[in-house]
Each structure stands twice: as structure tokens, then as C-alpha cells.
């Protein structure tokens, strides 16, 4: 078996991208396995035998199989790159706030808005836009006088919010009113090892 961590992913999934991005930034060797969600590959027996929940991303690291992008981020950081998730309790708690935001308002805001435009999902675009604005206003204010979301360097907090925030315009959610957020995205994109998520051809907002 290869020493690389196998990542089951979909190229347009922000959840998968945050795992791929972190692995690249942390110098973790990976093998990407594409799961064709449009064709229903996540429901096929071969994949369900790996992950009964049928979710991407899922990773295999030797005998470990793990899903949920934020859980994977914490596992990878604690196992391979602890500087991204420092041991002190206060810093971990502050990072967890943004992991929760990534799983909450970011998921139900810009990620959901993008589901409608990219995948044609039957969702309430106005509600997703409203949640996006709420989340981005708070991120924007939090970043006043800060370069990173937690502490003085990039952490899992920044990685967790990056993918769906950077691709919010694909869901017609503009970032033009949020200069601090745009600067944070640029800082993340300047990190050694940064990799882009595949862009969709849709999304009209700047």
C-alpha cells in the first residue's frame, strides 16, 4: 500500500477541497480518487463499503477511514502538522469557532447558494444569500486589525472557511463589500503549497 493518504473527493466540492488544500499546505502526500457524484457513485456498493454515509471527502490513512471535512482537518493536523492546530486550549477553542462556522453559516450560506447555480439544487437562493451576508459581515468585522482568523499565522480556521468563501461568487454572492475577507483569501492563496479548487463556469457576481 502506498504511504500516501487516499482522498475520495469531487473536484467541485469545497468540503473536499479544504482537505486537499490543507494536505498540500502541510506537505502531506496524497492520492486523489474522484467520486462521480453526478453519476451517483457515492451510492454504489464499492464506495459505501468504504464510507456507509456515502460522503466526500473521505480519507484512508493505512487502516483508518474517516469522513467529515472538519474531522479530517483536525486528524491531519494533530497527526502530521500540529502547528496548524496548536495544543493550547484557548487557541483550539478559537479555531473550533470557525470550524463550526464553516459547518454552519458558511455551509448554509455561500455553499448552499452555490449548490443552486452549480448543481441545480432546489434551494431557497434568497435565504442562502441572507445567511451568506450575515456570515461575511461577521468575518469582515472579526478581521479588522487582523491578518489571520486566529493568532498571528494561518491555522485550520483559515483553511476551513477558505473554499466556499473564495467560490461564493459562483453562487452569485459578491465579495466586493468585504475587503478584509478578500485580503485574507489572498494571504491564503500566497501560502507555499496552495492549490486552487476547480472553478465552475457559473456565477455572475464579482
CATH architecture of 5-83: 3-Layer(aba) Sandwich (3.40)
What was the pLDDT predicted at 37?
A: 59
The residues with which 59 forms a beta bridge, in sequence order, are: 7, 66
- The domain ranges of the chain are 5-83, 86-189
Query: What average pLDDT does the segment 166-194 reach?
Result: 97
6 three-state secondary structure: strand
Give the strand order in the sheet containing 5-9.
30-34, 5-9, 58-61, 64-67
Average pLDDT of every residue of the chain: 89
What was the pLDDT predicted at 40?
A: 55
CB 203 within 8 Å of CB 117: yes
Pick the more confident residue, 105 or 117. Answer: 105
Q: Which CATH class is domain 86-189?
A: mainly alpha
pLDDT at residue 112 is higher than 90: yes
Element (H, E) at 43: none
146-181 in b/e form (b: 16+ CB < 10 A) is eeebbbeebbbbbbbbbbbbbbbbbbbbbbeebebb
What was the pLDDT predicted at 142?
A: 98
CB 167 within 8 Å of CB 197: yes
| 5-83 and 86-189 share one fold | no
Query: What average pLDDT does the segment 143-171 reach?
Result: 97
Least confident of 23-37, 127-141, 157-171: 23-37
Tally of CB atoms within 10 A around 205: 15
Amino acid at each position: 500500500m502506498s504511504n500516501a493518504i487516499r482522498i475520495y473527493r469531487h473536484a467541485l466540492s469545497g468540503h473536499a477541497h479544504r482537505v486537499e488544500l490543507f494536505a498540500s499546505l502541510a506537505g502531506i502526500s496524497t492520492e486523489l480518487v474522484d467520486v462521480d457524484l453526478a453519476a451517483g457513485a457515492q451510492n454504489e456498493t464499492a464506495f459505501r463499503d468504504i464510507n456507509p454515509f456515502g460522503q466526500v471527502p473521505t480519507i484512508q490513512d493505512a487502516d483508518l477511514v474517516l469522513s467529515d471535512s472538519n474531522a479530517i482537518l483536525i486528524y491531519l493536523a494533530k497527526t502530521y502538522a500540529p502547528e496548524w492546530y496548536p495544543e493550547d486550549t484557548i487557541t483550539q477553542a478559537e479555531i473550533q469557532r470557525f470550524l463550526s462556522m464553516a459547518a454552519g453559516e458558511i455551509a448554509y450560506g455561500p455553499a448552499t447558494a452555490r449548490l443552486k447555480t452549480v448543481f441545480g439544487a432546489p434551494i431557497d437562493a434568497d435565504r442562502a444569500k441572507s445567511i451568506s451576508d450575515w456570515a461575511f459581515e461577521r468575518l469582515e468585522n472579526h478581521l479588522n486589525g487582523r491578518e489571520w482568523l486566529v493568532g498571528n499565522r494561518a491555522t485550520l480556521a483559515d483553511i476551513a472557511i477558505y473554499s466556499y468563501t473564495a467560490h461564493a461568487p459562483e453562487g452569485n454572492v459578491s465579495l466586493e463589500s468585504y475587503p478584509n475577507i478578500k485580503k485574507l483569501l489572498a494571504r491564503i492563496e500566497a501560502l507555499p503549497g496552495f492549490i486552487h479548487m476547480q472553478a465552475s463556469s457559473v456565477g455572475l457576481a464579482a
